[in-house]
């Protein structure tokens, strides 16, 4: 297995494979790259549950460690996913919310596994890197009223004088 120099490890309560399968089905150019089975002396192991699931989302590498319920996810760490256009944003947003996820605010959501995501349209980044402070202020003000980001109202806010 070709292993990257750096990857992010997420601790799951025995459902890391299911999570990795969802994530790789939703994010383009993604795949599960390896599954490690536990040994007979692995603490807390469960029959039929892999110890680790290695996966790639785009160019970023992750490991889902099935470690048990001791360390649940918090929104202190999140995956930022940059998307091209409202259709892609809507598709990914819906897929990550399915079966128990929850909307948060300003483009954030928590999936059914408790992992936090920021789904960010590239157009938002373009608006936020404007040299015009007024544009950035209006875009932020509009974003603060949103749960899922909506590109058209953000662009409209940016264009107001």
100: how many CB neighbours lie within 10 A of its CB? 10
Q: Give me the DSSP letters along 109-160.
A: EE-TTS-EEEEEEHHHHHHHT-S-HHHHHHHHHHHTT-SS--HHHHHHHHH-
The DSSP bridge partners found for residue 120 are 82
Please give the share of the chain, as a percent, with pLDDT higher than 90: 89
Q: What is the pLDDT of residues 65-99, one digit of tens each?
A: 999 999 999 999 999 999 999 999 999 999 999 99
Q: Which residues of the chain have pLDDT under 50?
A: none
| Domains of the chain, start order | 1-69 (3.10.180.10), 73-161 (3.10.180.10)
pLDDT of 1 reads 66
């Amino acid at each position: 297995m070709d292993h990257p120099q750096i990857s992010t490890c997420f601790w799951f309560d025995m459902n890391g494979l299911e999570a990795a399968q969802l994530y790789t089905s939703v994010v383009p150019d993604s795949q599960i790259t390896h599954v490690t089975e536990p040994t007979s002396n692995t603490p807390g192991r469960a029959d039929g549950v892999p110890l680790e699931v290695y996966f790639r989302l785009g160019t970023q590498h992750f490991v889902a460690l099935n470690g048990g319920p001791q360390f649940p996810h918090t929104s202190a760490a999140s995956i930022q996913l940059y998307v091209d256009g409202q259709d892609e944003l809507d598709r990914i947003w819906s897929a990550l919310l399915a079966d128990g996820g929850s909307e948060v605010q300003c483009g954030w959501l928590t999936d059914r596994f408790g992992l936090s995501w920021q789904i960010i349209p590239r157009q938002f980044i373009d608006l936020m890197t404007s040299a015009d402070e007024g544009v950035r202020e209006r875009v932020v003000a509009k974003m603060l009223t949103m749960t899922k980001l909506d590109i058209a109202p953000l662009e409209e806010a940016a264009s107001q004088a």
